[in-house]
Chains A and B, each alone.
Chain A
Amino acid sequence: MTALGSGMQPVLDVTGIHKQFPGVRALCDAGLRLFPGEVHTLMGQNGAGKSTLIKVLTGVYQPDSGSILLDGRPIRPRSTQDAQALGISTVYQEVNLCPNLSVAENIFIGRYPRRFGFVDWGSMRRQAAELLKRLQIEVDVGKPLASYPLAIQQMVAIARALHTDAKVLILDEPTSSLDEAEVQTLFGVLRRLRADGMAILFVTHFLDQTYAISDRITVMRNGEREGEYPCAELSRLALVNKMIGAPADAEQGAAQGEEAWERGEVFLAAHGIARKGVLQPVDLALHRGELLGLAGLLGSGRTETARLLFGADRADAGSIDVGGKRVKLANPRDAIAQGIGYCSEDRKHEGAILPLSVRENVILALQARQGIWRAIPMKRQQQLASDYVKWLGIKTASIETPIGSLSGGNQQKVLLARWLATEPGLMILDEPTRGIDVRAKQEIMDYVSNLCRKGMSILFISSELPEVLRVSDRMLVMRDRKACGEYRRGELDETSVLQVIAGEGA
């Protein structure tokens, strides 16, 4: 581990960054310090402001205020090219290179070495080979990039970043599509770069990886810098605690006045469902009238589990029973036919059909199940839409208003209505309360609990632990792409759940 002498000057010193988007305060007094020869991990929940901060550093966004010092000199990158020229290079989550060009070409795109005005291919190949050798990567630089696995492509992206004489290397979730061995290779490269004095900023959701590679950690929460900690001095529990933000009264609701809940029969049972590289085998059972909470950090396998149960992705292994009968869920249609509904976490891309009206959005899933020929009569459509607008308290000018002009909370309610209209036996709610205001949040949760009492099963996924603890009858905790514990209501308090999430023996 590198010694961080107190007299050492940070290569990158970012302080007091504010960034406001219309209606959202994305960053407030955010900052971070990066020293040469360290791997520094930036952690925080979804929406904590990590990506925004990185985009400010790389010139994608201009901050409203604040200062960025590179080697003690103030900079204000205006574009990614600008940032790169200053010495800040970034490798993004999705490798954004050209798969059909050769490895060497990818490294030198836009900066081909020239000789007499022509591209000097020989020199390009030589330089590329040297660069990759420095990373101890054995590849043929003349072959197309696509002929190598994703991990190698990631290395090529790093090599490309290095070629620009970067002082700071930012890796934005580089490991999310890599398998275990590939992650180790990547870490090997990072360690060598660190030994060479490179300052590396690493963004990830995986706790194990954070502890495997980091020297120091900066935690962000709600757009602010929560704190900066040496990795060795911050326990996993403390880290998760800081990311989530320990609430003042965790006991509230969980302990008090709940009528004894009676389990109905099992509605859905999953046995060892798994998907390679995404989810390790998970067992779970959902009873009628039960609300099962899925807790865990982003990337822990929560959404992945939900997508397998809904047939949105196909499971490579395991089996699913619905109502005691083995079923095959090859696509969402199959799941819907079995009475399963799924509100995706990505409202905008996987849920709302923005230009269409509230009415059309509400009836969509029901109409899809009825098939194309049996159109729901207009009268019935209007009835359904206005009923749900009333029951869920959806604020809209009319049922013919495009859903895109509604607020986030009201859009979410419309999508909830879409699934309720199909009268499902199991409703999967993936982060139904993300990014919506407190009141709408409360209304949605009340409505959901009520449905549960009437016999609907609900699988509830949320990053907000207090919310999960409050409403769940039972809770499944996930970590690092696998399930790691199941608890009845009242068995756990917030601290012990945090311990499980963080992976410290409870």
Chain B
Amino acid sequence: MNTRVDPALGKPEAPAASLRTVLLQHPLLRPAAALLVLLVLDALLVPGFFRLEIKDGHLYGALVDILNRAAPLMLAALGMTLVIATRGIDISVGAVVALSGTVAATLIGGTMVVNNGVPEYVANTPMGTALAAAVGVALLCGLWNGVLVAGIRLQPIVATLILMVAGRGLAQLITDGQIVTVYYKPYFFLGSGYLAGLPFSLFVVAALFALTLLLVKKTALGLFIQTVGINPVAARLAGLRTATLIIFVYVFCSACAGLAGLLITSNIKSADANNAGLLLELDAILAVTLGGTSLAGGKFSLAGSMIGALIIQTLTYTIYSLGVPPEVNMVVKAIVVFIVCISQSGEFRQLFKKRAA
């Protein structure tokens, strides 16, 4: 009979950790498994779920659709991950989405000019300037949040609550409470254009993900963020600039939200200050949690948050494609989230293991 160490007893097989144990203990296992289960479910229930086809040189299919629709959430989740890793939280993400989208849409707008008898729309402000202004506003929002948290030491949830309310209010002021429609075509490329057959928004997400990963892994940023999140007192005594770090993560988070705002307004060709990015912060927090990053701060996983965002989007897709009435949507979502979260709770797993043993 083989002597096998029961992983439930928490005794690691010391010398040669087998591939199996490495895989089983990998922090991404659970979120990845949850996503897989959802996909398999879709494959069984939705005919042709995995089918991809090329029309007009563009890739079409449910999977592409899910990825495309998840793009703003993935961006927001990236920023939220770093904020949560410092033991913070940012509930102003949705407001920043509305604000940056509104700024861009208002500046670009579009005026019809007739050129050689062909009506055409031109931007009110050069698109580059408008995008820069929108991102700039987002950066200012982040700076505001960061200074409130690190400088004035407000609790993160209260500090960002201010902008959550004020940001959307400001956006409504800009638009006079109306929906601003964009007519300038090149702007649509951001949220609904295609590059090499794939939605352009995916390239935005991929680029930002790669950039963040690089920052976190190739500089000391990852180590510092974790240290501040785990033990801010010890971090300060070890010589870290804790305040600067915290301000940075809020600025970064708002920048991500600003980009998400651009994708959203570009995709729907208008800016709705009331509804753009509504409750996106909660989905982002959820994505981070589903990805295995603890709200208590410290260790974090960017890839996990991306998977988390995909879980949420796939779930939404599944619910809609199954024809579940929209009223039930939230309940189903809540149940799935509850199951995934509870499966990540160490105490629950312990309980389960005792039963099984």
Contacts and interface: CB of A to CB of B under 8 A. Distances in A.
A and B interact physically: yes
Interface of A: 310, 312, 331-333, 336, 342, 344, 349-356, 360, 364-365, 367-376, 397, 418
B238 A312 contact: no
Contacts of A371: 220
B241 interface: yes
B298 A355 contact: yes
A342 B236 CA distance: 12
4 shortest A-B CB distances, which residue pairs?
A: A368-B239, A336-B239, A365-B238, A364-B238
Given A353-B227, A356-B230, A372 B237 contact: no
A344 B237 contact: yes
Given A336-B239, A351-B237, A418-B238, 14 more contacts: A332-B239, A344-B237, A350-B233, A353-B226, A353-B230, A353-B235, A356-B226, A356-B230, A364-B227, A365-B239, A369-B239, A372-B219, A372-B220, A375-B219
19 contacts: A310-B237, A332-B237, A333-B241, A349-B231, A352-B231, A354-B230, A355-B299, A356-B223, A364-B227, A364-B238, A365-B239, A367-B224, A368-B239, A369-B239, A371-B220, A372-B219, A372-B220, A376-B220, A397-B14
B234 interface: yes
B239 A350 contact: no
Interface in B80-109: none
Contacts of B235: 353
Contact of B223 (A349, A360, A369, A373): A360
B242 to A, nearest CB: 10
B218 interface: yes
A228 to B, nearest CB: 38
B67 interface: no
Range of interface residues on chain B? 20 to 34
B337 interface: no
Nearest to B218: A375
Interface of A is mostly: loop
B240 interface: yes
A360 B235 CA distance: 12
B158 interface: no
B17 to A, nearest CB: 11
A352 B221 contact: no
A367 B219 CA distance: 10
Nearest to B221: A372
The listed residue with most B CB atoms (<10 A of its CB), out of A312, A344, A353, is A353
B298 to A, nearest CB: 6
Interface string B286-298: 0000000000001
B151 to A, nearest CB: 14
Contacts of A350: 233-234, 237
Given A332-B237, A365-B238, A373 B230 contact: no
A15 B92 CA distance: 58
A353 B239 contact: no
A354 B235 CA distance: 12
A345 to B, nearest CB: 12
